[in-house]
Structures are given as C-alpha cells and as structure tokens.
Homo-oligomer: A and B are copies of this chain.
C-alpha cells in the first residue's frame, strides 16, 4: 500500500470494525488498534456517544485495552453539540494517539457531524492519529452514514442515511453485514448515492485504511458494492424495487486490499487474519 494517491484522503489510519469484535484471547482487531496507537505508549480515548450504557462500555474497553498494555483509557462522552464544540473535547483529542468510537445507536453521533470535534479528528488524522469505530461507531466515520432500515428488497424504504463524520470520503459503511443479511440495505444506499463505494463489514472483521487504500483484517469478509457505472432506475414509490444494472461486487476476506480512488480490489500480500 503506497499511502495516499488522492489529496482528498487524509494520511492517518482508520480501523473500521463491523461490530462483535473479539474481546478475549488474543483480542485480534483491538490488539491491532492498540499497536497502531503506540502499544504501551498509546494514549487512547473512547468516544461513548453512541451507547446508552457508557459506564459499562468504558469499563469493558478499559479492561481489554489494559490487558493489551494500555494503562488508562479516557472516556469522551460528548452528549450533544455543546460538548462536541467544547475545549475539553479538543484538549483530550489533541493528546490522544488513538480514538475509538464505541457501538450503540449511530443517530446519537449525528450531533458531532460538523462540530469542532469533527474538525480536530480530521486534522489529527493528517498527523498520524488512529481512529477506530465499531458497529454504530463504524458507519459514522463515512461521509454518509447509514442510520437504520432493514429489509430484503432493494428500495428507498430499506435504508435511512444521513451525513457522517466524513473521515473517509466517498465511502458508505454498513456493519454486522453477513450476520444480519444487509446486502439489500447497502445496495439501496449506493443506488441512492452511486458516487459512494458501499463497504459492508462482517462481525469481528475490519478495514484498515491507510491513505486511499484499505486492507481487510479479521475472521469474516468485506463486501464492496460499486454502482459508479451502474444503470439505476428509481420507481415512483419508496417501497417499490429499484432497478439496478451492472453493480460491481467484490467479496474480500482478510488480506485483500482495495484501492478506494481507483475502485479496484487486489489479493494482498498478507493473508493473516489479524
């Protein structure tokens, strides 16, 4: 991976996890996050905005990160726009080497979009900050985030989207992907925004973004749907099926690499799972 081919793409690394990451044993994906953030010199901030049970979530990640050699995990709760625009948030984020967005309900993260916190994260990515997110915290990192919707049909009614934190331009993330059968939802989302690459991440699986490439890590598969050159015919009704021709679909297990700018997958040199 050659870093950044596209000027619009920040230098920093993003670790975007499809939820359900292993938290015991080797703790594969989380171990990788800690390594990227500096191992025992890592200063990790956990953003618990998405969850309704921040104390439990903080305790749980602190336990895992401590096991991995991180002494203290700071929590940033960010309960609304005032918090996200505040000095406290900025100070904590400027100190961190790794920021981790917990799961929960991604609609709670909407208050952060366009905030000072959002700006600081974007700037600090260029200085080598590592930003990770799992589940709700994963989809929030894209320019557009999936807010909800379920269904077996590809239609406007199957998905709800909104602006995301935009740390990864032109990408639309979905998660718990194979486990919850979400391909119809991701196809619905890219049919509505064909300039975005749709990236569906299985549980205990992640993409590690460096520059304009990502590598697949973990035990599952990353599904990429690319409708950039597709024929899309929208029906009159939101519940009627969308006609969609010529979607490119890629199924990428661990070790595969995707060039986001060029929209091309390759079999990567690494085939380890973590």
Q: What residues make up the interface of A, taking CB atoms closer than 8 Å to B? A: 152-154, 178-179, 181, 183-184, 187, 220-221, 225, 231, 233, 235, 240-253, 256, 265, 267
- B154 in contact with A251 (CB, 8 Å): yes
A251/B246 contact (C-beta < 8 A), A152-B179, A183-B183 known: no
Q: Given contact pairs A153-B220, A248-B248, enumerate 8 new A-B contacts (beta carbons under 8 Å).
A: A152-B178, A183-B183, A221-B241, A241-B253, A244-B249, A245-B250, A245-B265, A247-B249
Contact of A153 among B184, B221, B231, B256 (CB under 8 A): B221
Name the contact of A250 in the complex, choosing from B221, B241, B246, B256 (C-beta under 8 A).
B246
Report the minimal beta-carbon distance from A260 to chain B, rounded to whole angstroms.
15
- 9 A-B pairs in the complex with CB atoms less than 8 angstroms apart: A152-B178, A153-B221, A154-B221, A187-B249, A233-B267, A242-B251, A243-B256, A243-B267, A247-B250
Smallest Cβ distance from A154 to chain B, in angstroms? 5
Task: Tell me whether B233 and A243 are in contact (CB under 8 A).
Answer: no
For A153, the chain B residues whose CB sits under 8 A away are 178, 220-221
Q: Is the interface of A mostly helix, strand, loop or mixed?
A: strand
Contact partner of A243 (CB less than 8 A), chosen from B184, B240, B246, B252, is B252
A138 CA to B36 CA, complexed, in Å = 52
Of B181, B233, B242, which one neighbours A181 at CB under 8 angstroms?
A: B181
A178-B152, A178-B153 given; A247·B248 CB < 8 A = yes
Is the Cβ of B249 less than 8 Å from the Cβ of A243?
A: no
Given contacts A178-B153, A183-B183, A221-B154, contact A251 B243 (CB under 8 A): yes
CB closest chain-B residue, reference A254 = B241
Residue numbers in B under 8 Å from A249 (CB-CB): 187, 225, 244, 246-249
